[in-house]
């Protein structure tokens, strides 16, 4: 069955990058807490993983009183992110095979990510994925996270298809729930750093479990 259109999240779905959050917390502790371990509450971390990075750092500053401002924290982690996407980020297993399969069958594809646009471009270039995506959309530019449908609706406008004819590939429960509310099909991808895996498995139309490759979706009737 041919997919007319697809929207892909990037971090945690196509590339293995959510380990960056652990790097952020360690760096914040070293720089601002005299080397003490810093970790936000589970609820706050869950929320932050659906936010843009500047929003997340604002929350850390305001709630945990770390740093002089959210911008100071953002500027610090910005350097870490740039180096990671430019030099170290790797694809999730089977990502290239899935993209090549969809590309070969003429599926129109785009990215909808919470990551800043310049980092999306750097990561896609580093991984050699630019050819697969006709457009890139960032929550950072829109100013709304994935608990709101705005970035997906913008992507839908580009794709030019009805919601029910669009598949969205995501690793976040919050994102999957948002997408389902607007009637798009969902393919959920296991990510060890994300919350709500069992719920996501139950509500998504397709699920790539721990240890499975994204390439399995090339063999399923989507």
Residues 6+ apart with CB under 8 A from 52: 114, 115, 116, 138, 139, 140, 143, 145
Query: Tell me, what's the pLDDT at 30?
Result: 92
Query: Tell me, what's the pLDDT at 113?
Result: 96
Average pLDDT over residues 36-60: 89
Backbone phi and psi for residue 135, each to the nearest 5 degrees, phi listed first: -155, 155
| % of the chain at pLDDT higher than 90 | 77
The residue ranges of every structural domain in the chain are 5-17+90-218, 20-87
Are 139 and 113 in contact by the 8 Å Cβ rule? The answer is: yes
Q: What is the three-state SS of 41-81?
A: CHHHHHHHCCCCHHHHHHHHHHHHCCCCCHHHHHHHHHHHH
Point out the least confidently predicted range of 24-38, 96-110, 171-185. Answer: 24-38
Are 8 and 169 in contact by the 8 Å Cβ rule? The answer is: yes
Average pLDDT over residues 59-76: 94
pLDDT tens track for 203-216:
999 999 999 999 99
Query: Tell me, what's the pLDDT at 221?
Result: 67
Backbone phi and psi for residue 116, each to the nearest 5 degrees, phi listed first: -60, 145
pLDDT tens track for 81-122:
899 999 989 999 999 999 999 999 999 999 999 999 999 999
Query: Tell me, what's the pLDDT at 1?
Result: 53
Q: Which fold has domain 5-17+90-218?
A: Rossmann fold (3.40.50)
């Amino acid at each position: 069955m041919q997919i007319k259109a697809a929207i892909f999240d990037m971090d945690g779905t196509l590339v293995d990058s959510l380990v960056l959050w652990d790097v952020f917390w360690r760096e914040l502790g070293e720089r601002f807490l005299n080397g003490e371990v810093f970790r936000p509450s589970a609820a706050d971390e869950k929320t932050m993983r659906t936010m843009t990075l500047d929003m997340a750092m604002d929350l850390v500053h305001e709630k945990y009183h770390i740093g002089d401002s959210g911008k100071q924290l953002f500027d610090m982690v910005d350097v870490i992110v740039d180096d990671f996407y430019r030099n170290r980020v790797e694809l999730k297993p089977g990502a290239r095979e899935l993209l090549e399969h969809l590309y070969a069958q003429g599926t129109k594809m785009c990215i909808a990510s919470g990551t800043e646009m310049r980092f999306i471009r750097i990561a896609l270039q580093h991984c050699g994925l630019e050819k697969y995506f006709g457009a890139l959309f960032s929550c950072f530019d829109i100013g709304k996270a994935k608990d709101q449908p705005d970035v997906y609706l913008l992507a839908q406008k580009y794709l030019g298809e009805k919601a029910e004819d669009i598949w969205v590939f995501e690793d976040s429960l919050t994102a999957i729930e948002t997408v389902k509310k607007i009637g798009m099909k969902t393919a959920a991808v296991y990510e060890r750093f994300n919350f709500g895996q069992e719920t996501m498995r139950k509500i998504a139309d397709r699920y790539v479990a721990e240890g499975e490759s994204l390439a399995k979706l090339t063999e399923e009737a989507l």
